Structure 1
Amino acid sequence: MAPVTTCIGLSTASMYPENCAATFATAGRLGYDGVEVMVWTDPVTQEPGAIQALSDLHELPVLSIHAPTLLLTQRVWGTDPWEKVDRSIDMALTLGAPTVVLHPPFRWQREYAAGFVDGIAIREEETGIRLAVENMFPWRAGQREMLAYLPHWDPVDQPFDHVTLDLSHTATAGSDAMAMAHALDERLTHIHLADGSGSSRDEHLVPGRGTQPCGEMLEHLAGNGFDGSIVVEVSTRRLDGDGRELDLAAALAFARLHFAAVPQP
């Protein structure tokens, strides 16, 4: 088996409320291989030139761009969802990032949702950028469950060529993460490494601190020659600087430990 060259990156979302510059500095200090930039209200995340300067300064590549398609970023780069996607693709091309991560459309974005599958396929063909649609989860209020995404929050049965698997979202949805990985096979392009306890709240715990098969997942991917990116996306917003770095170092150590190429017999 050829050596696995997968990078383990740090998402700027893991540093919130710290900014993009702090993410690059922390990733470099802790030994991450690169950074995923989530485009949002931090002005630096919206400027390719500023991101490139940080990448050069810390000698860390941009592994992926997370398009501003979250509920909290509905007004970042305007309100047209395709404009958000296209600007994210342009940023990825400028920075040499092979992947753009995006969420499925919200149910009230009916026109966007109707053309979503074809629009993704066309843009991938035209640009060569992998548009990796992320698994989400149903929204819950008490015992009620609402379908918040179209075509669906689970991308496994959708005709996407590239998918991001988020292990905090599988916990919230009650999904079987390993079954999803097996079903996706080569369509599984990108990993958001986190954990969850099965709460209805999207927790983004440090891997190994919840119920998800994070270690098993990494070992499965290593054994199958996974060559996408593994990006740590955990919540540290309630921690001080030292606590944040300890958690991010622990997440990286977990990833390094479990993602190891399986030696040939």
Structure 2
Amino acid sequence: MSAFREKVAERIFMLCATASAVMTSSVLLFMIVLGLPVFRKVSIFEVFSAPWSPHQGIYGIGPMVSGTLWIAFSATVIALPMSLGTAFVVTSLGGPGLRRFLWALVRFMTGIPTVIYGFVGIFLIVPLVRNGLGGPGMSVIAAALMLAVMISPTMILFFSDSLQAVDPAYCQAAKALGATRMQRLLYVMLPKALGGMTSGFILALGRALGDTLIALMLAGNAIAAPESLLDPARTLTAHIALVKAADYDSLEFRSIFACGIALYLFTTVAVVSVRLLDRKKS
């Protein structure tokens, strides 16, 4: 009877895994099929690099790819030192009261709706950028700053879990040799946790690449590749939300599926990178 239950459970789990793989592949196939008219008109390279000018019959998503990369990488770079510092305090450097407070705050931040971050960005970050740095205010840096705050809990949780997973015997041995808390953190815990922390960084980058609302509200949505952090930009996700076409067979509407393919590829690269890191660590 026990063997029968195990066999049924195994079949159910295999069925669920197969269904998940089929659905994921079907989404990609769906976007490729609906985006074929665009790829038939111009080459794949031109679609992902050409400008967006539907009045001239040009439906490239190059500016949106550039805007997505600018905002996502800027946000991740800004969030990295904040997340590292918080994770270090939570796992090693802070007192018990401070650790509990920061841990509760980080968990609370994970539940805040994205639209709240967007409103805070509009009424706080945008005026600060406009008055302090110049430019229109709604720009790459405004979106990146707010996005950095939003993705930092993801990085902090991964960083903290990786640091806490280090074998305590290593830390105890270093302590017995006279190492301070900072020395134990930098020379014992950090090297051992680097693989898991790198996975957290990549997943946070993937979340930044796929965010819609903050980029839509704060980046300015200019259909041009940004040349500096103060320039407005439009991301792939914002472009999908903003394109309105009365004719669903038009190339203008079909171009949003090219945006979906680009986002799918970005996400795939992030997930595969994490898998390779986990395999290397194992």
Whether the TM-score (by the shorter chain) exceeds 0.5 is no
Q: Which has the higher helix share?
A: 2
TM-score by length of 1: 0.25
Q: TM-score normalized by structure 2?
A: 0.24
Structure of higher RCO (CA pairs closer than 8 Å, 6+ residues apart): 2
Identify the structure with the greater strand proportion: 1
